[in-house]
Amino acid sequence: MSKVVVLGAGISGHTAALYLKKGLGKNHEVIVVSPNSNYQWVPSNIWVGVGLMEPNQVKFKLEPVYRRKGIVFKQALAKAIRPEGDSTSEKGFVEIEYVDEARRGQTEKVDYDFLVNATGPTLNFKATPGLGPDLYSNSVCTYDHAWHAWQNLKVAFEKMEAGVHQTFLIGTGHAMATCQGAAFEYALNIAFEVNKRGLHKFADIIWISNEYELGDFGMGGAYVKRGGYVTPTKVFTESILAEYGIRWIKRAGVYKVEPGKAYYELLDGTYHEQTFDFSMLIPGFAGAQIKAFNKKGEDITSTVFAANGMMKVDADYTPKPYEQWKSSDWPEIYQSPAYDNLYASGIAFAPPHGMSKPMESPNGTKIFPTPPRTGMPSGVIGKVVAQNVIHRIKTGRKDHPHKASMVRMGAACIVSAGYGFTKGQAATMTVSPIVPDWEKYPKYGRDIDKTVGVIGLAGHWMKLFMHYMFLYKAKAKFGWSLIPE
């Protein structure tokens, strides 16, 4: 009997766990360790943040699903990995600390044959003084944050209804934050709600981003076909913002937030302030800050993890300038080079470098987005890691027949604004591959025939459809594995 431990129950970890159990059956054990008792469909948090959905509509309890499927669930935080075991144990194990009410504070050693690290991001609000829902800005990164943001947004709407002008500042709250897509979607949804209420005369909505040009989205931008032209996402994105009446500040690294005021540095080295009545600023992401120790108890964290706490995998981490970035730098199987039964999936793996060109202000501040790895690729990577682990357990072989490189994977991004069968509208964009490959596609870095850039009702329906479909899949209901990631 093999024992597979999955750290994290986000899109990537949850997907991995479900596939592992399905593939391994009753003879093997699958354990999920996650501090959150709920699964949440993160993309729909945007709707929570504008009051169109309740948190209950985007989350569900994990325990009943895992019980039904025969997966062991431990509501706990992973504190350290000991891949070589310790003096008393030959087997690798994870040190966890329970966070559920019954066992809060209890620690446990969970040994494993295979470990999948899918811990997702740590929302690094602390990297920007004053940032975050506990301080002076809002967030939509979790359903809690989103619900909290909606409470504050409601107040802003009430003020506008009373004739008080409000400034909304939405975007990235750190010079190297990523996940522009989510923040962008939130800005559009606020604009839609403002317009729906006829309050646009009282609203000034500002998009602030660390992107060099809009539409970079941490992917180095992309090209889509639109109206007979291959159009950079810059033009596509600016068009959408202009349509919704949103101003923008680009190349901006927010470095401090005070009540009602954000401070930022531009790529040209100048410093500015922007006042606001409501702000939603995405924090920087870090890894889960898990420690690692070898058999002797020596700290090998820097061997297993990169400096930002994300786990090193089969990527080429040699530092090289932008011009020398290659598609072969990117990992395919997400296996730790240090320990062959250790995998990292989703945001937990350390990318070899960004996709956006690194930019630095004259003051030495790096202002550019780090690479996003949300939604679709996270799910796919989780599945592929699971498939390889299943293969290894079942055959005893060490090869990895399943591969999922972000240099070959495509992804769709649906940015929806508004809600309802006839009122909603979304921009649907696809890119393939996710990471631009200028060697294979010298013209546009990606396969231009596999791009879509369409705005309309259909995209909104798809977003709604995906909401229900992926929650259905995540609940592991009948036929779940037939739904693609």
Partner 1 sequence: MASIHERLKNEPYSEYSFATRPTNATLFWRRCIIKQIYLFFALNLKIMRIVVGGHS
Q: Least distance (Å) from partner 1 to the CB of residue 334? A: 12
Q: Which is nearer to a second copy, 317 or 444 (CB)?
A: 444
For 20-40, b/e burial (b = at least 16 CB within 10 A) is bbebbeeebbbbbbbbbbbbb
Q: Which is nearer to a second copy, 247 or 320 (CB)?
A: 247
Q: What, of a second copy, partner 1, none, does residue 244 touch, CB below 5 to 8 Å by kind? A: partner 1
Q: Is 450 in the site for partner 1 (CB under 8 A)?
A: yes
Q: Which is nearer to a second copy, 229 or 271 (CB)?
A: 229
Structure tokens at 252: 């901006």
How far apart are alpha carbons 145 and 58 in whole angstroms?
13
How far apart are alpha carbons 180 and 466 in whole angstroms?
20
Q: According to CB under 8 A, which one of 108, 113, 412, 472 is a site residue for partner 1?
A: 412
Q: Least distance (Å) from a second copy to the CB of residue 226? A: 7
Site for a second copy in 358-377 (CB under 8 A): none
Binding track over 160-189 against a second copy, x by CB under 8 A: ------------------------------
Half-sphere exposure of residue 165, counting CA atoms within 13 Å on the CB side? 6
How far apart are alpha carbons 308 and 212 in whole angstroms?
23
Q: Least distance (Å) from partner 1 to the CB of residue 106? A: 39
Q: According to CB under 8 A, which one of 23, 92, 132, 220 is a site residue for partner 1?
A: 220
Q: According to CB under 8 A, which one of 64, 70, 245, 297 is a site residue for partner 1?
A: 245
Calculated CA dihedral for residues 472, 477, 478, 483, nearest 10 degrees: 40
The strand order across the sheet containing 261-266 reads 252-258, 261-266, 271-275
Q: Which is nearer to a second copy, 239 or 365 (CB)?
A: 239
State the number of binding residues for a second copy (CB under 8 A). Answer: 6
User: CA separation (Å) from 337 to 198, 326, 334?
Assistant: 57, 19, 9
How far apart are alpha carbons 276 and 274 in whole angstroms?
7
Q: Is 404 in the site for partner 1 (CB under 8 A)?
A: yes
Q: What, of a second copy, partner 1, none, does residue 403 touch, CB below 5 to 8 Å by kind? A: partner 1
Q: According to CB under 8 A, which one of 105, 228, 259, 364 is a site residue for partner 1?
A: 228
Segment lying near partner 1 (by CB under 8 A), choices 48-56, 76-84, 259-267, 438-446: 438-446
Amino acid at 328: S
Q: How does strand 166-172 pair with strand 203-208?
A: parallel
Could you tell me what percentage of the chain is helix, strand and coil, using 3-state DSSP and rounding each to the nearest 5? 30, 25, 40
Site for partner 1 in 105-124 (CB under 8 A): none
Q: Which is nearer to partner 1, 262 or 427 (CB)?
A: 427
Contact 370, 37 (CB under 8 A): no
Element (H, E) at 48: helix 45-49
Smallest CA-to-CA distance from 101 within 136, 138, 75 is with: 75
Q: According to CB under 8 A, which one of 60, 339, 438, 480 is a site residue for partner 1?
A: 438
Q: Least distance (Å) from partner 1 to the CB of residue 322? A: 9
Ramachandran area for residue 346 (φ above 0: left; ψ -120 to 50: alpha; else beta) = left
Smallest CA-to-CA distance from 436 within 323, 355, 316 is with: 355
Q: Which is nearer to a second copy, 150 or 223 (CB)?
A: 223
Q: Is 480 in the site for partner 1 (CB under 8 A)?
A: no
Smallest CA-to-CA distance from 191 within 477, 458, 415, 456 is with: 415
Site for partner 1 in 373-402 (CB under 8 A): 376, 380, 383-384, 401-402
DSSP 372-432: P--HHHHHHHHHHHHHHHHHHHHH----------TTT--EEEEEEES-STTT-EEEEEEES
Structure tokens at 365: 């501040």
Q: What, of a second copy, partner 1, none, does residue 454 touch, CB below 5 to 8 Å by kind? A: partner 1
Q: Which is nearer to partner 1, 71 or 413 (CB)?
A: 413
Q: Which is nearer to a second copy, 235 or 469 (CB)?
A: 235
Q: According to CB under 8 A, which one of 80, 135, 286, 457 is a site residue for partner 1?
A: 457
Site for a second copy in 208-267 (CB under 8 A): 226-229, 235, 239
User: CA separation (Å) from 20 to 15, 39, 102, 133?
Assistant: 8, 17, 28, 36
Q: Which is nearer to partner 1, 127 or 407 (CB)?
A: 407
Q: Is 330 in the site for partner 1 (CB under 8 A)?
A: no
Contact 450, 436 (CB under 8 A): no
Helix, strand or coil, per DSSP, at residue 25: helix
Q: What, of a second copy, partner 1, none, does residue 303 touch, CB below 5 to 8 Å by kind? A: none
Binding track over 77-116 against a second copy, x by CB under 8 A: ----------------------------------------
Q: Which residues bind a second copy (CB under 8 A)?
A: 226-229, 235, 239
Q: Which residues bind partner 1 (CB under 8 A)?
A: 191, 195, 200-201, 203, 212-213, 220-221, 225, 228-232, 234-235, 238-239, 241-248, 323, 357, 376, 380, 383-384, 401-405, 408-412, 422, 425, 428, 430, 432-433, 436, 438, 442-443, 445, 450, 452, 454-459, 461-462, 465, 484-485
